[in-house]
Amino acid sequence: MTAADRALAVRRESLARRLAGSSSAVWRMDGVLLVAVAALCVIGTLLVWSSTRTWAPGATGLVKKHVLNVAIGAALCSTAAMVDHRWLRAYAPVVYLVTMLGLILVITPVGSTVNGSHSWILLGGGFAVQPSEFAKVGLVLLPAMLMAQPAEGTDRPRGLDVFFVLVATGIAVGLVMLQPDLGTAMVLGVIAAGAMMIAGVRKRWIAVLALLVAAGGVAVWFLDLLEPYQVARFTAFLRPSTDPRGVGYNSTQALNAIGSGEVFGKGLFGGGQTTGRFVPEQHTDFIFTVVGEEFGFVGSVTVVTLLSVVLLRGVRIAWQCEDRFGSLVAGTIVCWLAFQTFVNIGMTVGIMPITGLPLPFVSYGGTATFANLVAIGLLQAIHIRERQH
């Protein structure tokens, strides 16, 4: 055998090992988590179709784009699942800095305003990127990296590392509030708080974070950083019945749509509120109202159950992970998805203010879908590597 033949044989053997590793990794994925997320994506696609078919370009324009987004998100999820999460620990600062660069670009002339929020970068062809969604991933990885190594002789992270987490969070939240995007800023704050509590930081650090959040809220209010429509949303939450055709319109119509579905709903495409577009942004922020109207109480419980399965599997992965970095990443992702789910469903039933947060895996969206499925890919990556041991 010549040297060239030996080199070719080595390359073939290396490729075969990689393919075998990838194949075995697929079989080591958390199947329950995978099925639950896939079911939510399918339900979301049907709901987007139902809520946009009467007005979207070509009747199926948005649902086709949504299917494409889900497909791209699935590819990103698979890629993230194949990456060793321990390798990501070294590159967490790079991921964070890249996502912060995206937030900086948004507030330059490169950024564009959509629905009152200057949070987008237009790519052409009807596509756009919302960097604040990827910032969630960056803020999941960096605190996990910083607090993965406990102080000597303790199981708590070092005070200096916690301080850096607060600084990193402050930068991210500050850049998002310049857009302004209050909902995403809240999610970033919850991600940081969740990471700190999971890491077991001392209570005084949690108090410092709470004070910073409170001070930031006061500054935002008194410096008039919020847009008028954002102030109106909080007014509607506090007193939705005072102006049902004005600031309370969204909340009132959302409750009407959900209540009209009763137990079994009116059937897919059968919702009068959905067909008539009485609820604004029904394919994004208020997609849960389509669930309530067309699938009723039973459908609503099904969607909530599937989301709960995703969260519980995430908790299980975090609990079983022996690697501190992996456990922090998994636990923080659960905090992110749980908070966003609670706020989205809560605002449709009137127990939370309207903040513009989409329902994970269900609402129409490009960058949000990508970020959510990347998060699932990270959970799968942690699960796969733990099963190897």
pLDDT-based confidence at residue 165 (cuts at 50, 70, 90): very high
Please tell me the least confidently modeled range out of 11-20, 115-124, 171-180.
Answer: 11-20
Band of the pLDDT at 260, cuts 50, 70, 90? confident
pLDDT, average across residues 244-267: 78
User: Could you give the CA distance from residue 238 to residue 229 in angstroms, rounded to a whole number?
Assistant: 14
**Is the confidence at residue 93, as pLDDT, over 60?**
yes
Number of separate helices (H) and strands (E) present in the chain: 14, 3
307 found inside a domain: no
Choose the weakest-confidence range: 119-123, 273-277, 318-322: 273-277
Residue 196 lies in a domain: yes
Q: Between 54 and 143, whose confidence is greater?
A: 143
Q: How far apart are CA 238 and CA 230, in angstroms?
A: 13
Cα 380 from Cα 386, distance rounded (Å): 10
Average pLDDT over residues 111-140: 84
Q: Is residue 243 part of a domain?
A: no
- Which range of residues forms the domain containing residue 146? 91-226
Mean pLDDT of the chain: 84
Dihedral (Cα; 38, 67, 72, 174), 10-degree rounding: -90
* pLDDT for the residue 331: 96
Cβ atoms 279, 348 nearer than 8 A: no
- pLDDT interval class at 375 (50, 70, 90): very high
Say which residue, 112 or 69, is predicted with more confidence: 69
Between 141-155, 235-249, 278-292, the lowest mean confidence (pLDDT) is in 235-249
185 occurs within a structural domain: yes
Mean pLDDT throughout 160-182? 89
Residue 268, pLDDT score: 87
Per-residue pLDDT at 279: 80
Give 278 or 264, the one with higher predicted confidence. 264
Q: Of 3-7, 16-20, 163-167, which gets the smallest average pLDDT?
A: 16-20
Kindly write down the DSSP assignment for every residue of 8-26, as one continuous string: HHHHHHHHHHHHHHHHHHH
CA 250/CA 288 separation, integer angstroms:
13
Do residues 92 and 388 touch, judged by C-beta distance below 8 A? no
HSE at residue 200, side-chain half, CA atoms within 13 A, is: 11
pLDDT at 15: 45
Confidence of residue 16 (pLDDT cuts 50, 70, 90): very low
Tokens of 197: 């509590």
Q: In terms of pLDDT, which residue wins out, 219 or 4?
A: 219
CA distance 307 to 28: 22
**Interatomic CA distance for residues 389 and 213, integer angstroms:** 41
How confident is the model over 16-25, as a mean pLDDT? 49
pLDDT per position as a tens digit, 185-212:
899 999 999 999 999 888 888 888 788 7
Let me know: does 63 contact 45? Beta carbons within 8 Å: yes
Note the pLDDT tens digit of each residue in 232-254.
666 666 665 655 665 667 777 88
pTM beyond 0.75, yes or no: yes
Is 174 within a domain? yes
pLDDT at 154 over 80: no
250, part of any domain:
no
- Provide the pLDDT for residue 147: 93
% residues pLDDT > 70 (the chain) = 82
User: For residue range 360-369, what is the model confidence (pLDDT) as tens digits?
Assistant: 999 998 899 9
What is the per-residue pLDDT across 292-351, written as a single tens digit (0 to 9) for each?
Answer: 999 999 999 999 999 999 999 999 999 999 889 999 999 999 999 999 999 999 988 888
Q: Which pLDDT does position 256 carry in this prediction?
A: 82
Number of domains in the chain: 1
User: 123 lies in a domain?
Assistant: yes
